[in-house]
Structure 1
Amino acid sequence: MNWVIGDIHGMLRPLRALVERVSQADPQAKFNFVGDYINRGPDSKGVLDFLIDLKGARFCRGNHDDIFTLLLYGQPYVQNPSATDEVVAFQWFVQYGLWETLLSYGVEPYEIDAVLARPSPESVLRLLSVVPESHRRFARDLVPVIEGDTYFIAHAMWNVDEPDEPSIAARLAENTRLRYQIIWGRYGRELTRPKRWKRTGYFGHTPVQTYPRDVQTQEHTPIRGPGIVLLDTAAALTPEGRLSAVSIESGELIQVDRLGGPIIGQKSG
């Protein structure tokens, strides 16, 4: 079966545990990821090493990954008005977990502080020079959407009034607004509205506990609505956070806590 895994954010321990639990429940599991592999958690480098070695997996681009691409290559998939260049993006995302990402690559705190004190494109590039080529290629090659006959997977948002034909990828190629939304957009109460899509969309990006309580019954479990499943269960954000995997074919949910432990009372099969 196809399994979709939510935002990882540098949390290697639960990632390893979740992939193992899913593989035990489904030895033929095919893994798909909604993006945001780095920042916040303690081991972004280890996460990328693990994912690069995960055979047959497919990976979407998240907003944190897109900022990483901007820092590494000077050009993101889509420009955010708050991150107009490498220096602005660096100053912004150090507050949102880039600090922890750099530490995972062996950068010393005083080196980060020195760049923050006198930032320049050159100093940012020097700081990021510790990122190996395989990780750079991984970030550069991430796609904005994964599409199947009955589903599509993206990081942030696909407008409920937008069709998904002839394909989302084709529509993204023509429209900068849609490219921005799929990486940076956020859902509100339109979660419960009928969708113009014909397939089910799987997303991450916004932690599920931030949505209104009338949309869901339990925090830190994926939100399921008409034609939509949201999978960011805050693995790196709160002590109660979880990492979640949902089967596209069966709807089965498997979760681990932020330490990689099973969720008490939750069955994997």
Structure 2
Amino acid sequence: MPRRFAATDLHGCLRTFRYLVEQELRLRPADHLYLLGDYVNKGPDSRGVLDYLMQLQDFGYQVYCLRGNHEHELLATIHGTPNANDMWKLAAERAMTLASFGVTRAAAIPAQYAQWMASLPLTLELPDFVLVHAGFDFALPPAEMQQDTHSMLYSRDFVFDPSRLGGRRLLHGHVPTPAAEIKEKVAARAGAIGLDAGCAFLQNPELRHLAALNLDSWELHLVENREDPYPIARR
């Protein structure tokens, strides 16, 4: 029987993500893997993560990817569009991300990556879960709530209202959360669960994990960062 997993905030950590997919989950082509955004920046190999995701999809794996704020902002940078939320607050992050693509400016990133990122939806509805990168503004009417791009990409605090999602649970990322807190939420089968375990923050012992949740068994898989040392590793 196909299994369903959700994970998020890969942030260029290709070696860690490959280990999660191939060794920890042992993902099969019939399984469904839902990824909640932020594949680029912070970690060492943004291009490698995108290549691997596209390769999995090309090979017939059921990998469903949402857009995160870092893809949103990278697209804005590629197209020269002003963006109030600048993904590159540190020059070292910019240099490392561009180096992974073999370019010195965002506009030179090959078009295939921009096209793939631009095609990513902001939310996905399953029979029992709603998936989004950051969250929703639950004060809005349901139809407007799921059209509010800023909250879906950038929310850090919200008051969860399951009635606005038809009684379904919410899975999101965006806010790095210690693995112990994620374990508690999963054990309680909370209505809203953030799965960003701060994988990119290699030097932070409370974070530095990639989390994947089995949506049927509720088993939580945690893989510690397996990358070689890199500049942006502390939070």
- Both proteins in one fold, TM over 0.5: yes
- Number of residues paired by the alignment? 213
The answer for the alignment partner of 1:61 in structure 2 is 67
CA distance in structure 2 between the aligned counterparts of 1:98 and 1:256, rounded to whole angstroms: 26
Please identify, of 66-75 and 135-144, the stretch whose mean Cα deviation from structure 2 is larger: 66-75
The answer for the alignment partner of 1:238 in structure 2 is 202
- CA deviation digits over 1:157-186, x for unaligned, max 9? 12345565xxx6x7534xxxx221110110
Q: What amino acid is aligned across from residue 172 of structure 1 in structure 2?
A: Q
CA distance in structure 1 between the aligned counterparts of 2:63 and 2:184, rounded to whole angstroms: 21
Give how far 1:255 is off: 1.7
- CA deviation digits over 1:89-137, x for unaligned, max 9? 4xx6152833321121224xxx5xxxxxxxxxxxxxxx22432222111
- Where 2:38 maps in the other structure, the secondary structure is coil
Which of 132, 138, 149 does residue 179 from structure 1 map onto?
149
The answer for the alignment partner of 2:230 in structure 1 is none
1:17 aligns with 2:14: no
Give how far 1:187 is off: 2.1
TM-score by structure 1 length? 0.70
CA distance in structure 2 between the aligned counterparts of 1:26 and 1:252, rounded to whole angstroms: 17
1:102 aligns with 2:101: no
RMSD after superposition: 2.7
Q: Indicate how the Cα distance of structure 1 residues 221 and 40 shifts in structure 2: closer, same or farther if over 3 A, else same.
A: farther
Q: Indicate how the Cα distance of structure 1 residues 226 and 203 shifts in structure 2: closer, same or farther if over 3 A, else same.
A: same
Q: What amino acid is aligned across from residue 146 of structure 2 in structure 1?
A: L
**Rg comparison, structure with higher value:** 1
* Counterparts of residues 161-240 of structure 1 (less than 5 Å): 161=139, 164=142, 171-173=145-147, 178-187=148-157, 190=159, 195-196=162-163, 197=165, 198-209=167-178, 218=180, 221=183, 223-224=185-186, 226-239=190-203, 240=205
The answer for the alignment partner of 1:48 in structure 2 is 50
Consecutive unaligned residues of structure 2, counting only runs of 5 or more, are 228-235
- Where 1:53 maps in the other structure, the secondary structure is helix
The answer for the alignment partner of 2:215 in structure 1 is 248
Give how far 1:250 is off: 1.6
Q: What amino acid is aligned across from residue 143 of structure 1 in structure 2?
A: P
- Where 1:24 maps in the other structure, the secondary structure is coil
Please identify, of 222-231 and 196-205, the stretch whose mean Cα deviation from structure 2 is larger: 222-231
- Where 2:135 maps in the other structure, the secondary structure is coil
Please identify, of 152-161 and 1-10, the stretch whose mean Cα deviation from structure 2 is larger: 152-161
CA distance in structure 2 between the aligned counterparts of 1:237 and 1:8, rounded to whole angstroms: 11
- Where 2:162 maps in the other structure, the secondary structure is coil
Q: What amino acid is aligned across from residue 207 of structure 1 in structure 2?
A: P
Give how far 1:254 is off: 1.2
- CA deviation digits over 1:46-70, x for unaligned, max 9? 0000011112211111111100111
Consecutive unaligned residues of structure 1, counting only runs of 5 or more, are 84-88, 112-126, 210-216, 261-269
Please identify, of 34-43 and 23-32, the stretch whose mean Cα deviation from structure 2 is larger: 23-32
Q: What amino acid is aligned across from residue 57 of structure 1 in structure 2?
A: V
The answer for the alignment partner of 1:120 in structure 2 is none
Please identify, of 140-149 and 221-230, the stretch whose mean Cα deviation from structure 2 is larger: 221-230
